Amino acid sequence: MKEKYERLKEILTEMENVVVAFSGGVDSTFLLKVAVDVLGKENVLAVTADSETYPSSELEEAKELAELIGATHLIIETSELSIPGYTENDRNRCYFCKNGLFEEIVPIMHQEGFNNVVYGLIADDMSEHRPGVRAAKEHGVRGPLQEANLFKEEIRELSKQFNLPTWEKPSFACLSSRIAYGEKITQEKLTKVEKSEAYIKALGIRQVRVRTHHDIARIEVEPKDMELVLSNHHSILENLQRFGYKYVTLDLQGYVSGSMNKALTALTKI
């Protein structure tokens, strides 16, 4: 792990300056921290895209983290729902998202006099369905964490050593990842997902996904939290139905990152 960290510093040093696509998650926060430490504040710009798929709570946390790290932070307004092809929600949804994001950030890189855009791609991602990687390559955007072969657990451990509060932060993905592939993405659906997950988290559950299959909510939590969900099933049912779901279920397999990808084989490849 130490060797990988040293390699990360070498990669960033070679870049000289970077614009970091910054979500406030475990990976991009660690990347931003190391970039500022290695290159200096004046050579790093964090850019956060505020959109329909990004919860307001995450935006506020990103602001706090950038301030904690001492990074210059720019927030831009974007809209995935206006990107052609995105709302159809096919297997390439993440390509459209990342392509739209980098189309916004790369011009900022040029305007601000920077030479590189980087994002929080990690070694774990290379074994998953990640259409966004193709978009990054097309725009010349690099993933230094992945280039250094750093995995999620290593990034968490290093983040802990740096006293970053995100070292134990639950994994997060955009709200659109909660909606079953092939089902159209709308603002209404994104809002009910955000409200539903916020309500369940308020019960004391840190890691939760409310997967949406039309009018069915499929709740994923870690096995240790299932008892808490069941003991609050009446209030959860009442509130999620109030938010717009007709049926509310608990997935006995528990939280699984990228669980919606299981359905990809059933879709026609584009």
- Which residues lie closer than 8 Å to 98 by C-beta, 6 or more apart? 131, 132, 135, 136
What is the radius of gyration, based on Cα positions, of the chain? 19
Structure tokens at 144: 């230094």
CB 269 within 8 A of CB 91: yes
Q: Is 174 a catalytic residue?
A: yes
| CA 63 – CA 73 distance, rounded (Å) | 8
Which residue, 236, 242, 250, is CA-closest to 199?
236
Cα 130 to Cα 55: distance, rounded to the nearest angstrom: 21
β-pairing, 72-77 vs 44-50, is parallel
Q: 221, 254 in Cβ contact below 8 A?
A: yes
Work out the burial of residue 89: count CB atoms within 10 Å of its CB; fewer than 13 is exposed, 13-18 middle, 19 or more buried.
buried
For residue 103, the tally of other CB atoms under 10 A from its CB is 13
C-alpha span between 216 and 194 (Å, rounded): 15
Kindly name the residue from 123, 174, 193, 240 that is annotated as catalytic: 174
By annotation, the residues acting in catalysis are 174
